[in-house]
Structure 1
Amino acid sequence: MGDGFPFLDIIFFAMVAAFLILRLRSVLGRRTGNERERPDQFQPRPTQDGDSENVVKLPRRDGLPEQEPAPPGSLAAALTQVKIADPSFDEKYFASGARAAFEMIVDAFARGDKDALRPLLADEVYDRFAAAIEQRAQRGETLQTTLVSMKAADITEAAMRGSEAQITVEFVSEQINVTQDAEGRLVDGTPDEIETIVDIWTFARDTRSDDPNWLLVATRTPN
């Protein structure tokens, strides 16, 4: 009979191990059903199915201490308010998306493609762009725009207007813009002249809406 005690010990420890494994699976395998982030045109953040809700905040890779809270009224504080309203917002991905939108809008405007502009612009801005395109066509003129390079696309302002997030980006680009009449005569611009152009555009999105798209709601140039 004495030889049976080690065998009973083995059975006991096996039961304990099985119990612990079941407990770990019940905790680490838990899901909320909301793991997927909805796509955002200006935030191309790749996601993977089945992300766990158990997210651990990692220390900064550079070893520096966490930054102090941004002072009220600063751009950082304003961006924080946007992130509170829309936790998926990330300024890095937004700036990248805004740059892509800028290039598409500039190209579509030069080609007179109002259909391409429609989903990117708020109504008031679209009306202005469409009117300029129609006036150009009535004069028999064509615009050729070559975006040589994008030197900067920096977020300069941010604000929450109720549930609407507004982000302003300053674009600094090098362009060649040439306008010709119906006979191909030069009306404006120089084909071999590169201009440095600064555009200040404001994009907006209702953070309570299921529509992830940001629209261009205002354009201006530096004072």
Structure 2
Amino acid sequence: MNYSFEYIDILLLAMIAGFIFLRLRGILGRRTGYDGEPAAQFEKILKDVQPEKQAPQRENFDDVAQKEFLNGAKIAYETIITDFSDNDNKITTSKPLLSKEIYNQFDEALRERDKRGHRADITFIGVNSATIKEHKKEDNFLKVTVDFVSEVITCIKDKENKIISGDPEKIKKIYDTWVFSRDTKSNNPNWQLIETLT
């Protein structure tokens, strides 16, 4: 007898589930495979929601972005200055940070230095300040001009290790203005030095 009651319970539950299913189908309708155009009242909602996934990424250079950029710019500045002072007279570590034009300029300067038999001894003390002077977008490129104030110890020596210029005991304050650029449509997030101003 117990088994018969269990079967009755199952049948009742199945009937209730079937009733609910039929009611829902009657209220909601059935999917036929063609949804048609979205109703006019929903078009604005779709336009408001979808473009963020489809539109190209916008550059938002707010205070947070500027702070992050300057932190990276300081590291790039030190890397480039230090690389330029290496005794192998080759641009190695900082090459990805340089545009083709700047790389060629630096490489030529190092070749000239090497021909003369000179070498640069540079001790980088640190960046005192880095300030964004200007930022603008030209076509697909975002360009940022940065004023650097740094301290270095620098001197140029000849083959006989004699000092030609500079002072190995004196800290010198350096003022540089560099322009960095990044292609906003590129998947590469890295910035490159494209110009040095005096």
- C-alpha distance in structure 1 between counterparts of 2:71 and 2:126, whole Å: 14
**1:147-170 CA-partner distances (Å, limit 9, x unpaired):** 123110111111100110000111
- Are 1:216 and 2:193 counterparts? yes
1:95-142 deviation digits (Å, cap 9, x = unpaired)? 000000000000001113312232110011111100001111111111
Rounded to whole Å, the distance in 1 between the matches of 2:126 and 2:80 is 15
Structure exhibiting the larger radius of gyration computed from Cα positions: 2
Return the match for 2:121 from 136, 144, 152: 144
Confirm or deny: 8 A CA contact 1:117 1:126 kept in the other structure.
Answer: no
Structure 2 spans left out of the alignment, 5+ residues:
1-56
CA distance, structure 1, for counterparts of residue 155 and residue 143 of structure 2: 32
Q: Which runs of 5+ in 1 are unaligned?
A: 1-83
Q: Which amino acid aligns with 2:73?
A: A
Identity %: 35
Cα distance between partner residues in 2 of 1:113 and 1:138:
13
Q: Distance in 1 between matches of 2:60 and 2:137?
A: 14
Runs of 4 or more, structure 1, over 3 Å off, are none
Q: Name the SS of the counterpart of 1:113 in structure 2.
A: coil
Match of 2:83 in 1: 108
Q: SS of the counterpart of 1:119?
A: helix
- Aligned-residue offset at 1:185: 0.6
Which residue matches 2:45? none
| Bigger proportion of residues as helix | 2
In structure 1, C-alpha distance between the alignment counterparts of 2:141 and 2:66, rounded to whole Å: 16
SS, match of residue 211 in structure 1: coil
TM-score using structure 1 length: 0.59
**DSSP-derived class of the 1:208 partner:** coil
Amino acid at match of 2:58: A
Residue 194 (1) aligns with residue 171 (2): yes
User: Which residue does 1:39 correspond to in 2?
Assistant: none
Equivalent-residue separation in structure 2 for 1:136 and 1:206 (angstroms): 33
What TM-score do the two structures reach when normalised by structure 2?
Answer: 0.67
